Structure 1
Amino acid sequence: MNDLGGRGHPKKLVIGASGFLGSHVTRQLVAAGEDVRVMLRCTSDTRGIDDLTVERCYGDVFDDAALAHAMAGCDVVYYCVVDARMWLRDPTPLFRTNVEGLRHVLDAAAAADLRKFVFTSTTGTLAISNSRPVTEVDVHNWTDGGAYIASRVQAENLLLRYCREKNLPGVALCISTTYGPGDWQPTPHGSLIARVAAGKFPFYFRFSSEVVGIEDAARAMLLAAERGKVGDRYIISDRYLSTREVHAIAAAATGRRPPRIGIPMGVLYFMAHLNDLASRVLRRDLPFAVVGLRMAALMSPLDHGKAARELGWEPQGVDIAIDEAAKFFAAQRV
């Protein structure tokens, strides 16, 4: 039976290790020689970590006993659980997981003897600006992100409140859209890369967004555990890229013709409104929702200088990550 008491040097706990980011955090911890424990649900798709030697424990973020058990003997917790289904007609699950589930985890973390709690936040909690790149000190100033963004803002605020009021050694990383290999489930943006890599999506959308390589994002999580200032947040993003550039990189990686048909925002909004109408009529959650498109269109260029200065984080290049993502998806078809 596995020892959960933490004999020897402290363990590193990854909650949400089966997800895209969590699996890469786990992989980098194992590669660094750390003693790694992961907390999973029994139903989790674990293809991203099945080749790794890690200690597994099972439970969900509402199971207080399982959380305490998982954190025993750990000095760092990497929290990588996010419900990102912004298209849900009923937003209750978003707040239940992203806020109430997090509250259970933070209560357990505040009671544990942790050195650091590294929280996966999102660039959606940041401000927007038309005049300059946004930094961490800019106050969130928009309300068009729907229930998903509202839940994530509440979650980040909850974490920071625990840092102030309960001495939780927490740090938040505001991570942008991630690309790279090992996107098994896959993410919605990863699905588009898969279609481009297969030569089945000759389109690009006429907007831009902040993007980062998944391995760069995971490395930032590890750096934050060592160097992040308690109660602070850090922007983890590489570049502001158009979807045309993203899809062109993916196409080139697999020898496909680059996307050549641009879809204007007006057309995208029309299609998204049809999606939402069909969702209501069919009583089904359909992913191409207006709220997601609006959120993508609003995002501003970001300044990751604080992460570079304080964490020593420098991205290796999202171009490489997109290239590797396309090749990963192409290999799954073989």
Structure 2
Amino acid sequence: MRILVTGATGYLGGRLCRSLLSQGYSVRALVRPTSDLSSLPSSSSGSAVELVYGDVTDYRSLLDACSSVDVIFHAAALVEPWLPDPSRFFTVNVHGLKNVLQAAKETKTIEKIVYTSSFFALGPTDGYVADENQMHAEKFFCTEYERSKASADKIALQAASEGVPIVPVYPGVIYGPGKLTAGNVVAQLLIERFNWRLPGYIGYGNDKYSFSHVDDVVEGHIAAMKKGRAGERYLLTGENASFMHVFDMAAVITSTSKPRFCIPLGVIELYGWLSVLISRITGKLPLISPPTVNVLRHQWAYSCDKAKLELDYRPRSLREGLEEVLPWLKSLGLIKY
């Protein structure tokens, strides 16, 4: 079986390629000429991915990459809370998916597409825990990323209704060892916390997220390829908790002190606006921006019972995950405790 992975050099995509190779699959990775390939296994490791150069926004290169492929893992996405040019979210996340769907139809060999969506595509869950039946209400969007993923979700579901063998999967807040990208926000915040650049809790613990270890999400993707039913949605989420709980648990694991005060979201929003201003000058994207604070004002709690039942998805607890992440960050010299 030959598999194409888009977004192969990203935080999730790189680990997905490694896992697929270790299970004996032939893996082709769609990469841009400027991509950092460090997350992909090299030929010296005994097995390597087949690299094809292109971009999901470039239809011709994508179509060439799909040649003789049986399965597509479409994991390519622009994952940022804020960009100076928000139209890029739709260029990559929406039109990129449209290109994948069209290429799959034209190739005619594709047996399944596993599409990496996001919990943001389902919308917030203020005061309750949602499952795969939730559709985004589209009354408001905290970020342009959320808006783009909700739009792409409708396209994926429409394609499924037309007989395209697509299986959308919805990870939670992905964390774990690996690339320190914007998608690895837990690691980024822990670095800020342990270096005292984030001296207190973010808000008052009213936020709630479903935390997913990256390796659990990878195995959930592969299980969706093997067992997932075309047109069915699967939440690859995990333990629902606040970032206050994450910081408290990190303190217990490292035998360090917990934060002693809470930083109001209004203060963090002001810092976010300042960070955006600095970003426009320096060109470096901010860790905290006003859209980030919009997200923090809501809850994003989900149940993965369907994936457990149908895919044998077994997410580890948040504590188990943090007991791996914290020593990893320490080994890199990024935090001390």
Task: Give the number of aligned pairs.
Answer: 324
Q: Offset at 1:317? A: 2.5
Task: Point out the more displaced range, 134-143 or 240-249.
Answer: 240-249
Go from structure 1 to structure 2 and tell me whether the alpha carbon gap of 1:185 and 1:276 turns closer, same or farther (over 3 Å shift).
closer
Pick from 116, 119, 123: which aligns with 1:123?
A: 119
Give the aligned residue type for 1:78: F
1:7 is aligned to: none
Give the aligned residue type for 2:175: Y
2:176 is aligned to: 180
Pick from 201, 204, 219: which aligns with 2:201?
A: 204
C-alpha contact (below 8 Å) 1:224/1:311 kept by paired residues: yes
Q: Does 2:36 match 1:45? A: yes
Q: Offset at 1:267? A: 2.6
C-alpha contact (below 8 Å) 1:35/1:54 kept by paired residues: yes
1:241 is aligned to: 241
Pick from 93, 96, 108: which aligns with 1:98?
A: 93
C-alpha contact (below 8 Å) 1:251/1:326 kept by paired residues: no
| 1:8-157 aligned within 5 A | 10-51=1-42, 53-112=48-107, 113-141=109-137, 142-157=139-154
Q: 1:54, 1:241 → 2: CA distance?
A: 36
Give the aligned residue type for 1:133: V
Q: Offset at 1:91? A: 0.8
CA displacement, residues 171-222 of structure 1 (integer Å, 9 cap, x when unaligned) = 1111111111112446344222233455664432133322110101111100
C-alpha contact (below 8 Å) 1:194/1:330 kept by paired residues: no
Q: TM-score, normalised by structure 1?
A: 0.87
Q: Unaligned regions of 5+ residues in structure 2, if any? A: none
Q: Offset at 1:284? A: 7.7
Quote the sequence identity (%). Answer: 27
| 1:249-260 aligned within 5 A | 249-251=249-251, 256-260=256-260
Q: 2:25, 2:121 → 1: CA distance?
A: 31
Go from structure 1 to structure 2 and tell me whether the alpha carbon gap of 1:218 and 1:282 turns closer, same or farther (over 3 Å shift).
closer
Give the aligned residue type for 1:54: V
Q: Unaligned regions of 5+ residues in structure 1, if any? A: 1-9
1:290 is aligned to: 290
1:6 is aligned to: none
CA displacement, residues 51-110 of structure 1 (integer Å, 9 cap, x when unaligned) = 452211111112333222222222111111111223123211111111112211221112
Q: Offset at 1:240? A: 1.2
Q: TM-score, normalised by structure 2?
A: 0.86
- 2:300 aligns to what SS in structure 1? coil
Q: 1:271, 1:329 → 2: CA distance?
A: 25
